[in-house]
Amino acid sequence: MTFDTNLADFLADKPEDLGVAILALAKVGKDLAALISRGALGGELGCAVGENLGGDQQKALDVMADDVFAAELAKTQVKYYASEEQDEVITLNPDGHLALAIDPLDGSSNIDVNVSIGTIFSIFEANEGAIESFLRPGKEQIAAGYIIFGPQTGLMLTLGNGTAMFILDRETGAFMLVNPRVNIANDAIEYAINASNYRHWSKPIRAYIDDMIAGVDGVHGRNFNMRWVASLIAETHRIISRGGIFLYPGDTREGYKMGRLRMVYEGAPVAFVVEQAGGIATDGKDRILDQTPTELHGRTPLVFGSKDKVTRVAAYHDLPEGEISPLFGKRGLFNV
């Protein structure tokens, strides 16, 4: 169902400065969508140009997107700008009162293979200090969302009163509201995890996945499908659209104890969007939005999606070590 309103109309009765910042994000998103859709015709967007503070390879479009977002947001009331592509917080508008964290182009390693990529953003009321504006619990966000560049260009947005879905109408250039309150399905048969890392996972994560793999012969009594796109935006949008669970746990590899996703730029905004759509987001055990990052580029394990599935993962962590095996699910705790 399509609703007769676009993003500007939707934001008309919201705080003006917040609305202006979100419209600036949408404007850049629309321009990036046009560039990305050209693929190789738009230049070598996927070529490596460096490395960010977290050790991730930067693509040409990563840096380009960061520059364009910063330039557009400098015209708004965004005082502090924290980007995954920048080492430190940047002051855009000294007189502003908003703090915006952004992953300008999530999934950029997929640019050349035409897989959905996107932008993730998070907005707070600015504190007196620049970095202090972001090292705070995710539940203090006043807005969060993402723009996905795929077969359609979509915008998912929450202002703390539900999650709304918009689709870019390429004919008019407007993001049109298609669902004012998204709800993540609870009864879904898909899970997303990088199974190649199985040997490095903790026992609770291995046990959870073992029980999913057991399918109709296991405690669940039904078969499941595994999905893994290696693009957080694509994984999130699929779960928002049709339910399921995403897991990027920490593991025993060097540098992966806390997973690879960043709390400020990915974990907190995705968690806010997911919770406002009726789902749950944890680090495997505890709620993401209750946690306070200690570093601007600090990482977190991330498990999110349908309530029943995310809750079950936490329950596996609560079991005594000796009871964690692919078969322990037959105990009463997991008979559902």
Which residues are known catalytic residues? Answer: 56, 62, 84-85, 103, 105-106, 266
Is the Cβ–Cβ distance between 168 and 155 less than 8 Å? yes
Nearest in space to 20 (alpha carbons), one of 92, 106, 107, 117: 92
Q: Is the Cα torsion angle 289, 299, 18, 32 positive or negative in sign? A: negative
Residue 333 corresponds to which amino acid? L
Strand 280-282 vs strand 245-248: parallel, antiparallel, or unpaired? Answer: unpaired
Angle between helix 232-242 and 268-276 (nearest 10): 10
Alpha-helical segments (H) within 138-284: 203-214, 232-242, 268-276
How many other CB atoms sit within 10 Å of the CB of residue 260?
Answer: 20
Cα 312 to Cα 259: distance, rounded to the nearest angstrom: 20
The DSSP code sequence of 71-135 is HHHTTTTEEEEEETTSSS-EES-TT--EEEEEEEEETGGGGGGT--EEEEEEEEE--SSTGGGTS
Cα 40 to Cα 166: distance, rounded to the nearest angstrom: 27
Task: Give the CA dihedral 158, 161, 162, 165, nearest 10 degrees.
Answer: -50
